[in-house]
């Protein structure tokens, strides 16, 4: 018998049950196997299991064979905005969860859900247990519109509406009023178009997605037939991408309704635009101004729902009715100063009122402070940092929207997170980050949380939830039927 097999035969697997050491044999005993030198391994803790957290973990694990990474998540389920932010009818975007699952199941990665960092455990306590802590918990706050009347019933944030139809537990009770004919969305980014598309999509399309059952039932009864997507600047500054615009243009049962005057001078400016912006603007021009083919004309003539961009408009006031509900919105009419991306909207003094019963603010997410010990820039709503290194806080890093603000798509977050991981690894290699002293990692944190009555959810526990949701979805022709409360999730995890 070879030395490899002899050693393997002599080990009692039960001794190491629940640890992450087993696949270390396939790494030729390189690095830091849990069963042998775990106490001397560099240990990294990541707070947040969305794309930023998982991409950071992925890069660290791949780059060094001697680092253990633990991911802590506030909810019992992983994947953050991939699960709760990506539109239900974009299943291809959610495929990234397969990659994240591989990372979570790696021998040197641990997942601990149902842990609220900042209340269940402090960042300082994590720093005592780990050589480095990476904050990747994203942006769960809403930016305020800042106009009178925004607190009236019928004014919602896009973040909350997206969370409602995607099954985010704290948005479960949202219950939006969809009895009006016209909805106004403030903002013209991809999230705004996602919301518009979900509001106007035929139910036969939505029922094949992982949209939640309560949302599906509410949308089936919706009387919303017209959605206006409002932006303070013009067509050449619109923040969405061509993919989302094309989906709106081709949405079954709907037709576009644009204001031709909003596109004055745009055709002449096309030649100077970057390629991606040029293609997007050309599609808008075609949609707004060109006479479509007979087939498209016929489809649009039979459409029962309408959508359209409204450019050069800023909210001034939400107008209410005697029942303190939304009755409309007053918009300032703007003009642009400057050109291109750097142009600024300037009010003209003219206003217009739009009758509507639902207003959805999609002007951006913002990060919130997690712990008094962590530096936080309230104005920019980020943790102040240099290439992911938190300023004046050795051993503390950040990635994702907490690092840059809520910009870009998942691919942007991937590069952002890889850069943070590189900074951390450079600090390890240079000795700036001291990893020589042993750290206890998850061992001491789990003991601490147990004493505080916090019930951890491991990745294998999540897989129980995943299997149940998938099974429930298959029963009604959907990819999954999500559990909607933390209590339900925990009950399944503990089964």
User: pLDDT of 442-466, one tens digit each?
Assistant: 999 999 999 999 999 999 999 999 9
Supply the range of the domain harboring residue 325: 142-364
Same-domain check for residues 150 and 109: no
DSSP-assigned letters across all residues of 256-300? E---GGGGTTHHHHGGGS-HHHHHHHHHHHHHHHSPPPHHHHHHH
User: pLDDT of 202-240, one tens digit each?
Assistant: 999 999 999 999 999 999 999 999 999 999 999 999 999
Same-domain check for residues 95 and 238: no
> b or e along 106-121 (b: 16 or more beta carbons within 10 Å of the residue's beta carbon)?
bbbbbbbbbbebbebb
- Counting beta carbons within 10 angstroms of the beta carbon of residue 283, is it exposed (0 to 12), middle (13 to 18) or buried (19 or more)? middle
Tell me whether residue 468 is in a domain.
Answer: no
Same-domain check for residues 45 and 100: yes
CATH number at residue 287: 3.50.50.60
Same-domain check for residues 328 and 441: no
pLDDT at 162: 97
Total structural domains within the chain: 2
User: pLDDT of 231-288, one tens digit each?
Assistant: 999 999 999 999 999 999 999 999 999 999 999 999 999 988 999 999 999 999 999 9
Compute the average pLDDT of residues 75-95: 96
Backbone angles phi, psi at 101, to 5 degrees: -65, -40
Give counts: helices (H), strands (E), the chain. Answer: 19, 18
Compute the average pLDDT of residues 59-73: 97
The pair of structure tokens assigned to 34 is 């849990």
Q: How confident is the model at residue 20 (pLDDT cuts 50, 70, 90)?
A: very low
User: pLDDT of 367-378, one tens digit each?
Assistant: 999 999 999 999
Tell me whether residue 469 is in a domain.
Answer: no
User: Is the Cβ–Cβ distance between 35 and 16 less than 8 Å?
Assistant: yes
**pLDDT at residue 414 greater than cutoff 50:** yes
Half-sphere exposure of 119 (CA within 13 A, CB side): 8
pLDDT at 39: 62
The pTM of the full predicted model, rounded to 2 decimals, is: 0.89
């Amino acid at each position: 018998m070879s030395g490899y097999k002899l050693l393997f035969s002599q080990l009692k697997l039960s001794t190491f049950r629940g640890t992450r050491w087993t696949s270390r044999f396939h790494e030729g005993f390189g690095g830091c196997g849990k069963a042998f030198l775990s106490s001397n391994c560099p240990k990294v803790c990541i707070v947040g299991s969305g794309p930023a957290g998982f991409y950071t973990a992925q890069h660290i694990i791949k780059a060094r064979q001697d680092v253990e990474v633990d991911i802590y998540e506030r909810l019992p389920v992983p994947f953050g905005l991939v699960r709760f932010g990506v539109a239900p009818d974009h299943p291809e975007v959610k495929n990234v969860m397969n990659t994240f699952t591989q990372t979570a199941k790696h021998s040197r990665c641990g997942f601990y859900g149902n842990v609220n960092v900042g209340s269940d455990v402090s960042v300082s306590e994590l720093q005592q247990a780990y050589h480095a802590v990476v904050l990747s918990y994203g942006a769960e706050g809403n930016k305020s519109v800042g106009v009178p009347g925004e607190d009236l019933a019928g004014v919602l944030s896009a973040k909350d509406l997206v969370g409602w139809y995607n099954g985010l537990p704290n948005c479960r009770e949202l219950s939006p009023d969809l009895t009006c004919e016209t909805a106004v969305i403030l903002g013209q980014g991809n999230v705004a178009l996602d919301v518009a598309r979900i509001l106007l999509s035929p139910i036969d399309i939505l029922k094949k997605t992982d949209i939640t059952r309560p949302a599906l039932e509410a949308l089936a009864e919706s009387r919303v037939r017209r959605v206006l997507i409002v932006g303070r600047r013009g067509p050449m500054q619109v923040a969405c991408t061509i993919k989302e615009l094309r989906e709106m243009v081709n949405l079954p049962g709907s037709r576009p309704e644009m204001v031709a005057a909003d596109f004055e001078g745009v055709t002449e400016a096309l030649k100077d635009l970057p390629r991606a912006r040029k293609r997007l603007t050309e599609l808008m021009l075609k949609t707004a101004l060109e006479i479509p083919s007979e087939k498209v004309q016929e489809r649009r003539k039979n459409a029962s729902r309408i959508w359209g961009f409204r450019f050069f408009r800023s909210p001034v006031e939400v107008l209410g009715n005697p029942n303190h509900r939304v009755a409309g919105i007053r918009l300032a009419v703007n003009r642009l100063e400057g050109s291109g991306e750097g142009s600024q909207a300037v009010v003209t003094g003219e206003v217009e009122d739009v009758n509507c019963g639902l207003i959805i603010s999609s002007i951006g997410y913002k990060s919130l402070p997690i712990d008094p010990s962590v530096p936080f820039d309230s104005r920019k709503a980020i943790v102040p940092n240099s290439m992911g290194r938190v300023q004046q806080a050795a051993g503390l890093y950040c990635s994702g929207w907490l690092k840059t603000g809520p910009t870009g798509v998942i691919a942007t977050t991937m590069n952002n997170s890889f850069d943070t991981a590189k900074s951390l690894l450079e600090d390890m290699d240079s000795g700036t980050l001291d990893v020589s002293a042993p750290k206890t990692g998850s061992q001491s944190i789990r003991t601490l949380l147990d004493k505080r009555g916090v019930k951890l959810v491991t990745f294998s526990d999540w897989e129980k939830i995943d299997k149940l949701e998938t099974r429930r979805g298959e029963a009604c022709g959907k990819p999954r039927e999500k559990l909607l409360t933390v209590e339900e999730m925990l009950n399944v995890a503990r089964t």
